[in-house]
Chains A and B, each alone.
Chain A
């Protein structure tokens, strides 16, 4: 109870947060005359600021491109993912360097690396956001419970989270996938499960700050249930944290999905195009000079991770301002 004692005793010493006398360097105008417009204006301003940020624009363009690839790969390439390139004379060109016929070259079978990169987008683009979303939802619930109720449940969960966080994610994922098989469902749930602790910890600290505010005390004083306070009072105040956390987790999830695929845990048809699988199949060729087979899918992963991180950074910046 040491901490709750402190919490009970010392608030009067801290004379309420912000200094009322400092002129805000970026004043939000007082006395608004049109309330709902004002709130909408703030939101609109945030959005405008976001879509104007160069890092957001670059990230969004790259992300949109890969999304298009995942939805309609046929629009961007005339070759299928398992279709061997045949020249006009019907000959195949396996292991060909990038050229006008095959922009990114061809692999050992003679498939177009460009087509495989385009077709390979869907696996990552489906798995990563879904697992990040599940992780954020589960982490939010856990974090709310830990941060709001504190006590022994928090202690136990915190120790478990620390234990999980101290182990390499990939190692844990491999162990789980070896036991439960590597279907797409298991992959998504595994990544979600492994990211939940990090999210829970972030949400917990945000909830701890919220739970010390007097509106929570006030809700308790009118006899609201814990569930109501968590979900209706506190939750709307931590949505910014969740959005930022989601975008950051998507970035990590892309990386994890691709790494698992590289290790042969792609959760689908092994012949289907997949960046991780293709890197795995092609990286030994680098030594014999055929770098293009693995480098282009690797660049695809890198560009997607960077794009998501650019978006995450600009969202975070706008919310913090």
Chain B
């Protein structure tokens, strides 16, 4: 933890914020791609210490938020089947599908279990040979290696009762989709540090060049984020556009080569629908032909399920950075973490939930007497 507290030091943070204010001469819009970064920005109030010209746009980087409604409906259909043990990361349980969420399936008798790792699901499959064990394999490049490893081990060990419902998504195609959208306002990206741990950042120089945007590989602690923002602003002010690594203690250019090999063996690139955004070409992974037998969609015959998203919910506009969460008419009214219309309100990494939980009023009308209140 020592290495973490070092990156949370208040005084250094204020100094960095001051430095950003000093170098900023005009308005800039910077998108943090990763939901973990959004969570940290709002939880630590980093947007409050930035100069008003620097606007943070919260990107589509929460894996829970962008998992398509169809995948949730498929998960619910599978989890409701008798004899199935359905395993998921915790924050997927409250994500609303078209009608239900996994919590309701559980309360109606479904065997839904929270796991911290896909390898836990594998262990459950081993201990329950007479039952079908399904793992909901979602996430960005970050969770993919462990998910791939679980499927590979299941095949190697002949665990025929294990399967995965796969809905993986990829960062670089999402960056392209955002840059290609007609109302794009993003001028620079903070690339997600943990994704780059796996993938490295060799794919990014081409994007910088094609769209003339700075991309700064950035971590998650307050000082990491402020340093990433500082470097992005510096490039913008100087009219530069290249890849910078502001998270070198964790990320190198090539990434984790062993993890990449594992992914390449188990997954193949596919078009993927993103909740609230639509289909982005080549933006996902599915099981490769050699591992198709472990695909829960086929095994449980849920491949044909289709779904329509709420018309009130503007999660798509939030995820594209077109509006802030509190600019959505349903925010805090029809849509709250208790009754979310879209997944951005569900996951604690979701931009809407982060605004609601940590920044709802502070953003809008924090009275000065409170802001100035010193605790004795």
B is bound to A:
no
